[in-house]
């Protein structure tokens, strides 16, 4: 793809303001190697044998650098060069981090795909982004990802190479080893002859596709390194931290929440895959984890189940990140009061949203669960450096007028150095002022208008008899019911009212719940009667896409 995602005048302006620098992510890695050489850098999942074979590995920064350089030399031997796109479908292991770093060392763009993706998704995304090579595993979970991509190669004329890790499979089988002098010389010569530019594309991630075909989201060194300050500043991350990463490193949560802060600070990254509560808790204890991220439903479960909470060794753990759905204030308060652990509320997107509410700015757990900073609010300062760089406004989705009064829904529009340049297909989701139109509905809140409160995705609104209902608000209320472990609210079609509210829930172990009981509980919260659910659907689990977002289309009637 073409080099230079952002216009040159924008790059010059943001660099002059100090919002962007001349750094590249591969240079960040080399800086950490120089500073932290013999310190532990990265740890494999405890179940590595089932993922790639072999025992879990623990590499120092210098050892990691040796294998990254070996891999970069192998990518050069395949003929890959700056601007080529490498599809990557690997579990969260040391090798996943190595492939990313090796590709970026020589300017190759990484397009990461979740392990759950099969032939349909692989073919679609490889065609859109013109993958030149593909890296995966021979076997995983009883299937062969290498064979799956091989089966669609006739539809992908740009795809020249399929490489597998760990075990023999389609194409060459790679097992990283320390680089030879010849490997290092070849890589150094390539870098010197064709150096990376911070405006080069670094990744092509993919929108979650909960409602439609996923879109490619190219991001460059500049905007990735800008947005990663949010996830460094909110948890106050330092080199002494130990991070436990349970999220697939395929989008904003895994890359910006864990991977880039690891490179920025030089701390330890402990990988986890696939999510297993017992293994997860064991890693927290054995690795002396200081910071991790977890979905709200799991945090609520751990807090409400004495057997689980007693099994959590939290002597080192000091902060937890969570988000993607509204957090229950009782859950956030419970972790703080019971364990002394601050839950950080985050709201992000591949396109460049990076709103985070941490204990420093939001010492009240209830406020931290419900609100995000409204950057630019008069007379208010925030701890993150992004507060002075990111501009937000709310826009009435019907009239197009800017919303300035509290309590009125508006679509979040966002500008600044964290925002991407536009989708792979050329679509630019920006308003006339160049702000990203996020599709997320918020309202202004707080006694000084200093907060933003998330309402819902604009397309997820339930419209009952002409009245707009934000599912996220109801999900927060229903999620506070002691019988509920997880919840999604959707609209059922209705001939008279247009839509009616349906609540789809997963119950806590041993719990029961009827529609009448749920409605009675919600009435006690004094909400408008038109918001009350008219269908209750109890399920064992909510359908989610590979990055954890609920597939609401599968819940609607």
Residue, of 299 and 12, whose pLDDT is higher:
12
pLDDT of residue 312: 67
Gyration radius from the chain CA atoms = 23
Residue, of 553 and 61, whose pLDDT is higher:
61
pLDDT of residue 546: 66
pLDDT of residue 212: 52
Domains 27-38+61-196 and 253-373+388-458 share a fold: yes
Is the per-residue pLDDT at 495 higher than 80? no
Both tokens of 296, joined, read: 């709200």
pLDDT of residue 118: 86
Read off the pLDDT band of 433 (50, 70, 90).
very high
DSSP state, residue 288? T
Instruction: Tell me how far CA of residue 134 lies from CA of 204, 211, 384, in angstroms.
Output: 14, 27, 37
Pair 286, 256: CB distance under 8 Å = no
Read off the pLDDT band of 190 (50, 70, 90).
very high
Express as a percent the part of the chain with pLDDT over 70: 93
DSSP state, residue 240? T
pLDDT of residue 448: 92
Both tokens of 458, joined, read: 């604009």
Instruction: Tell me how far CA of residue 435 lies from CA of 117, 395, 549, in angstroms.
Output: 32, 11, 25
Q: What is the mean pLDDT of residues 388-413?
A: 93
Helix (H/G/I), strand (E/B), else coil: 336: helix
Q: Which CATH number is associated with domain 253-373+388-458? A: 3.40.50.12780
Q: How far apart are CA 63 and CA 41, in angstroms?
A: 9
Residue 301: which residues within 8 A CB-CB, separation 6 or more? 308, 485, 508
Q: Exposed, middle or buried, 62 (CB in 10 Å: 0-12/13-18/19+)?
A: middle
Helix (H/G/I), strand (E/B), else coil: 87: strand
Element containing residue 96 per DSSP (H, E): helix 94-105
DSSP class per residue in 397-421: TTT-PEE-STT--EEEEEESTTS--
Q: How far apart are CA 168 and CA 57, in angstroms?
A: 20
pLDDT of residue 436: 96
Is the per-residue pLDDT at 168 higher than 50? no
Nearest to 323 by CA among 332, 333, 335, 314: 332
Decide the pairing of beta strands 85-88 and 354-357: unpaired
Read off the pLDDT band of 368 (50, 70, 90).
very high
Domain chopping of the chain, boundaries: 27-38+61-196, 253-373+388-458, 461-554
Superfamily for domain range 461-554: ANL, C-terminal domain (3.30.300.30)
**Region of 444 on the Ramachandran plot (φ > 0 left; ψ -120 to 50 alpha; else beta):** beta
What pairs with residue 452 in β-bridges?
372, 444
pLDDT of residue 210: 44
Read off the pLDDT band of 427 (50, 70, 90).
confident
Read off the pLDDT band of 211 (50, 70, 90).
very low
Residue, of 350 and 313, whose pLDDT is higher:
350
Q: What's the predicted TM-score (pTM) here? A: 0.85
Q: How far apart are CA 254 and CA 548, in angstroms?
A: 12
**pLDDT digit string, tens, across residues 30-83:** 999 999 999 999 999 999 988 887 899 999 999 999 999 999 999 999 999 999
Q: What is the mean pLDDT of residues 248-258?
A: 92
Decide the pairing of beta strands 451-457 and 372-373: antiparallel
**pLDDT digit string, tens, across residues 280-296:** 999 999 999 999 998 88
Q: Exposed, middle or buried, 117 (CB in 10 Å: 0-12/13-18/19+)?
A: buried
Residue, of 508 and 314, whose pLDDT is higher:
508
Q: What is the number of other CB atoms lying within 10 angstroms of the CB of residue 172?
A: 13
Pure H helices in 194-295: 221-233, 260-265, 277-286
Please state which of the four CATH numbers 3.40.120.10, 3.50.50.60, 3.40.50.980, 3.40.718.10 is assigned to the domain occupying 27-38+61-196.
3.40.50.980
Both tokens of 7, joined, read: 């216009």
Pair 113, 91: CB distance under 8 Å = no
Buried b (16+ CB within 10 A) or exposed e, 93-113: bbbbbbbbbbbbbbbbbbbbb
pLDDT of residue 417: 98
């Amino acid at each position: 793809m073409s080099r230079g995602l952002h216009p040159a005048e924008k790059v010059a302006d943001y660099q002059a303001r100090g919002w962007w620098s001349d750094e590249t992510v591969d240079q960040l890695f080399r800086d950490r190697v120089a500073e932290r050489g013999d310190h532990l850098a990265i740890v494999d999942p405890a179940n590595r044998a089932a993922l790639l074979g072999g025992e879990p590995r623990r590499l120092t920064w210098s050892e990691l650098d040796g294998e990254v350089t070996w891999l970069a030399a192998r990518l050069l031997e395949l003929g890959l060069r700056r601007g080529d796109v490498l599809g990557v479908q690997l579990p969260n292991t040391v090798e996943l981090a190595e492939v990313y770093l090796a590709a970026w060392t020589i300017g190759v763009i990484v397009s990461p795909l979740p392990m759950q993706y099969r032939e349909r998704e692989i073919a679609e995304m490889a065609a859109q982004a013109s993958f030149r090579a593909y890296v995966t595993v021979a076997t995983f979970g009883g299937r062969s990802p290498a064979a799956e991509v091989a089966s669609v190669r006739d539809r992908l004329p740009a795809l020249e190479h399929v490489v597998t890790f760990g075990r023999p499979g389609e194409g060459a089988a790679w097992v990283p080893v320390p680089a030879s002098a010849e490997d290092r010389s070849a890589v150094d010569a390539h870098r010197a002859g064709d150096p990376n530019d911070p405006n080069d594309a670094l990744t092509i991630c993919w929108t979650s596709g909960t409602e439609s075909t996923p879109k490619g989201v190219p991001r460059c060194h500049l905007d990735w390194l800008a947005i990663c300050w949010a996830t460094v500043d909110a948890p106050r991350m330092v080199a002494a931290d130990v991070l436990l990463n349970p999220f697939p490193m395929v989008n904003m949560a895994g890359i910006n929440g864990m991977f880039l802060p690891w490179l920025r600070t030089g701390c330890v990254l402990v990988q986890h895959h696939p999510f297993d509560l017992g293994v997860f808790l064991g890693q927290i204890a054995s690795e002396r984890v200081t910071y991790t991220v977890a979905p709200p439903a799991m945090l609520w479960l751990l807090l409400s189940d004495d057997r689980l909470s007693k099994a959590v060794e939290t002597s080192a753990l000091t902060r937890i990140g969570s988000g993607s759905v509204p957090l229950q204030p009782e859950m956030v308060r419970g972790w703080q009061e019971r364990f002394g652990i601050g839950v950080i509320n985050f709201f992000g997107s591949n396109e460049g949203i990076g709103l985070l509410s941490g204990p420093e700015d939001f010492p009240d757990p209830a406020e931290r669960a419900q609100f995000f900073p409204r950057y630019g609010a008069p007379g208010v300062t925030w701890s993150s450096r992004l507060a002075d760089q990111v501009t937000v406004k709310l826009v009435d989705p019907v009239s197009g007028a800017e919303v300035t009064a509290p309590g009125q829904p508006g679509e979040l529009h966002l500008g600044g150095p964290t925002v991407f340049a536009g989708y792979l297909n050329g679509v630019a989701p920006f308003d006339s002022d160049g702000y990203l139109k996020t599709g997320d509905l918020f309202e202004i809140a707080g006694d000084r208008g200093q907060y933003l409160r998330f309402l819902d995705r604009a397309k997820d609104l339930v419209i009952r008899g002409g009245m707009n209902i934000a599912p996220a608000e109801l999900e927060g209320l229903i999620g506070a019911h002691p019988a509920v472990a997880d919840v999604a609210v959707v609209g059922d079609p209705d001939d008279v009212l247009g839509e009616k509210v349906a609540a789809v829930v997963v119950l806590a172990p041993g719990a029961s719940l009827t529609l009448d009981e749920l409605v009675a509980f919600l009435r006690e919260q004094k909400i408008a009667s038109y918001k009350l659910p008219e269908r209750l659907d109890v399920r064992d689990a909510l359908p989610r896409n590979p990055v954890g977002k609920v597939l609401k289309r599968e819940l609607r009637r």
